Amino acid sequence: MALWSKLWQAYRGRLRRRYLLARALRRRRRLTAVQDRTGAIRRDDILLFAAIRNEAQRLPHFLDHYRRLGVDHFLIVDNNSTDGSPDLLAAQPDVSLWQTGSSYRLHRFGLDWLTWLMFRHGHDHWCLTVDADELLIYPHHDTRPLAALTGWLDASGQRVFPAMMLELYPKGPVQAQSYEIGSDPLRILQWFDAGNYTITRQERTKALWIQGGPRARMFFADRPRHAPTLSKIPLVRWNRRWVYLNSTHAILPARLNEVYDQTGGEAISGLLLHTKFLPEVVRKAAEEKDRREHFGRPEIFDSYYDSLMASPDFWTPRSTRLESWRQLEALGLMSRGGWL
């Protein structure tokens, strides 16, 4: 690429970043503090940011999982939940909670809210930004806390940590399963697709775009470009001048998206275990089809919601049973890189 073109892209990126920051600062007034405990945040604390709606079933395990990993404080925006999620979260001593009744889609799918909170509270902290149905794992996560990983990243001069979303599913129709509130979803969601993934590099953002998995093969076989994007950058040593561009799939400045090794080796990476396909997904699909708060053009995803409402069975004889992070590393789905 010619030098002038690179400079022009960098300039456009700066303008976009400033616009998104200004937008988030303006829209901070849409948030109402329910329980603000951010005064307890310490200098080296690892923070988690999330926007949620009606996640009372999975929140107890979600919080326990990330506490075990070493998250010190949760900053959560509740988007008009009706299932008791706000009361559950407000009672947690390590949670700061805000509420809003504003449109999730018209606030960049929650990013306007989280960008403000990260600007205000996340600067120079390691910040983890995830959905309530995403459970981060990484090499040695069962024996080494997040602080060990972020310490190694700091020592290596790395400010971002990528993770592919690995979609888990049960054997049999999703609504036929039985899930107890607060239990480990991996007791039900024990299967995944090991190899049907495609990777492209986005020229404008320098990000990798990974697609595939069970939703791609079942719902988007005839339009693969519309399949969900699985690549994310959920863990970042945050700077208040930065912004997420599209969920956590890409970030500005664009140089932060170059999370892959370009010399023939392997860069460190993790996985976000996607626990979407609990039995409640059938009810939620009907609700979200009606609300139209997801996707930039929700009308073209009606057939996707209809498929979920039919309680699909994702399992095939080629499905792989989840065993351990070492299994996932051996399959090439995540990597230790230089962290031994």
What total of structural domains would you count in the chain?
A: 1
Res 223: pLDDT: 86
Closest CA to 163 of 243, 236, 110: 236
**Looking at the domain assignment, is residue 335 inside a domain?**
no
Residue 19 resides in a domain: yes
Determine the average pLDDT of the residues in 296-304. Answer: 70
User: pLDDT tier at 41 (50, 70, 90 boundaries)?
Assistant: very high
Question: What is the pLDDT of the chain when averaged over all its residues?
Answer: 92
Is the pLDDT reported for residue 1 higher than 60? no
Based on its alpha-carbon atoms, the radius of gyration of the chain, rounded to whole angstroms, reads 19
d(CA 100, CA 97): 10
What's the pLDDT score for residue 31?
97
Q: Is the dihedral of CA 5, 10, 11, 12 positive or negative?
A: positive
161-195 pLDDT tens trace: 999 999 999 999 999 999 998 899 999 999 999 98
For the beta carbon of residue 25, count every other beta carbon within 10 angstroms.
Answer: 14
pLDDT band at 59 (very low <50, low <70, confident <90, very high): very high
3-class DSSP state of 139: coil
pLDDT at 179: 92
> Which range (6-20, 59-73, 151-165) has the least confidence?
6-20
Q: What is the pLDDT of residues 304-333, one digit of tens each?
A: 888 899 999 999 999 999 999 999 999 999
- Mean predicted confidence (pLDDT) in 68-84: 97
The more confidently predicted of residues 216 and 6 is 216
299 versus 271: the higher-pLDDT residue is: 271
| Cβ-based neighbour number of residue 137 at 10 Å | 19
Query: Comparing 77-91, 261-275, 310-324, which segment has the lowest mean pLDDT?
Result: 261-275
Task: Provide the domain limits for residue 266.
Answer: 3-330
Q: Say if 339 falls within a structural domain.
A: no
- At 234 the three-state DSSP class reads strand
291 band by pLDDT with thresholds 50, 70 and 90: confident
